[in-house]
């Protein structure tokens, strides 16, 4: 097994950017491009892709993020730093590209690097899907990078990563683990208004921890045992 990256552009608006992204990918040795509901791709996209027309033409086009990342073990969403405190629990902690590299050293599996729309990034629901949030450290005065520049910087950082033998957990198993946790929160009458934030926090923690398959199974075993020993269950 190896460590594969796919670059996922979510609803890109400008075809020139899509072409530039393809070029930056080929510059750094990446080739898996997925486009979710992209703008029309014509001459300008091809021109900006330059000698990376193969990457552009090999791009997979999907109509939703779920299809784009179906085979990915880890979803990494890249966002700009926003001054706003809004949705802080979704956006934070954010990691810088160097941390992501360290995080993934020695792993194998498929990692989806997602980049949002040029004008408004990701929706709240899209951000909730991410296992990790990635932010490129930029000037506070003007933090909004051009889409293809952001891709170039992230791929530059990841281009000399050392993969290894540690498998990333299967996304389906991780999803079951998260659902299991949600179940347990219900079982213990966890306050409804805290649930969403706590679930998101758990998702982020597991994302950062880079769970291996065995750990996912062990955690689920713990949860099963918790459930068996709950007062609500004992009363039966």
Q: Does residue 153 belong to the site contacting its own copies (CB under 8 A)?
A: yes
Q: How far is the CB of 109 from its own copies (least distance, A)?
A: 22
Q: Stretches 139-147, 187-195, 197-205, 227-235: which one binds its own copies (CB under 8 A)?
A: 139-147
Q: Stretches 16-24, 103-111, 181-189, 203-211: which one binds its own copies (CB under 8 A)?
A: 16-24
Q: Does residue 156 belong to the site contacting its own copies (CB under 8 A)?
A: yes
Q: How far is the CB of 30 from its own copies (least distance, A)?
A: 8
Q: Does residue 2 belong to the site contacting its own copies (CB under 8 A)?
A: no
Q: How far is the CB of 137 from its own copies (least distance, A)?
A: 7
Alpha-carbon distance 133 to 204, whole Å? 8
Contact set for its own copies, span 49-108 (CB under 8 A): 50-52
Cα-Cα-Cα-Cα torsion 169, 175, 179, 185, nearest 10 degrees, comes to 50
Q: Stretches 33-41, 146-154, 163-171, 188-196: which one binds its own copies (CB under 8 A)?
A: 146-154
The SS3 assignment for 102 reads helix
Cβ neighbours of residue 164 closer than 8 Å, sequence gap 6 or more = 3, 105, 106, 107, 108
Report CA Rg, the chain: 19
The dihedrals phi and psi of 77, each to the nearest 5 degrees, come to -105, 125
Count of residues touching its own copies (by CB under 8 A): 28
In this chain, which of 20, 79, 107, 174 binds its own copies, going by CB under 8 A? 20
Nearer to its own copies, 138 or 217 (CB): 138
Question: Pairing between strand 166-167 and 107-115?
Answer: parallel
Q: How far is the CB of 210 from its own copies (least distance, A)?
A: 24
Cβ neighbours of residue 85 closer than 8 Å, sequence gap 6 or more = none
What tokens were used for 227?
A: 């459930």
Q: Does residue 28 belong to the site contacting its own copies (CB under 8 A)?
A: yes
Alpha-carbon distance 51 to 62, whole Å? 24
DSSP string, 104-127: HTTEEEEEEEEE-BTTTB--HHHH
Do 95 and 103 meet the contact criterion of CB atoms below 8 Å apart?
A: yes
In this chain, which of 3, 7, 18, 24 binds its own copies, going by CB under 8 A? 24
Q: Which residues of the shown chain bind its own copies in the complex (CB under 8 A)? A: 20, 23-24, 26-29, 48, 50-52, 136-139, 141-146, 148-149, 152-153, 156, 159-160
């Amino acid at each position: 097994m190896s460590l594969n990256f796919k670059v996922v552009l979510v609803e890109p608006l400008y075809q020139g950017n899509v072409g530039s992204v393809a070029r930056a990918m080929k510059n750094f040795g990446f080739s898996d491009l997925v486009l979710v509901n992209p703008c029309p791709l014509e001459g300008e996209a091809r021109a900006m892709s330059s000698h990376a027309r193969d990457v552009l033409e090999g791009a997979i086009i999907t109509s939703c993020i779920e299809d784009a990342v179906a085979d990915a073990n880890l979803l990494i969403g890249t966002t700009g730093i926003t001054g706003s405190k809004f949705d802080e629990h979704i956006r934070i902690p954010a990691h810088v590209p160097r941390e992501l590299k360290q995080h993934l050293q020695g792993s194998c599996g498929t990692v989806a690097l997602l980049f949002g729309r040029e004008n408004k990034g990701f929706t709240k629901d899209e951000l909730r899907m991410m296992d990790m949030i990635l932010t490129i450290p930029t000037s506070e005065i003007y933090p909004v990078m051009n889409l293809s520049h952001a891709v170039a910087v992230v791929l530059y950082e990841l281009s000399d990563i050392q993969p290894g033998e540690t498998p990333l957990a299967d996304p389906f198993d991780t999803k079951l683990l998260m659902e299991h946790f949600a179940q347990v929160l219900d079982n213990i009458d966890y306050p409804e208004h805290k649930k969403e934030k706590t679930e998101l926090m758990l998702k982020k923690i597991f994302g950062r921890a880079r769970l291996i398959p065995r750990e996912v199974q062990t955690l689920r075993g713990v949860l099963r045992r918790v459930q068996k020993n709950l007062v609500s269950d004992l009363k039966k």
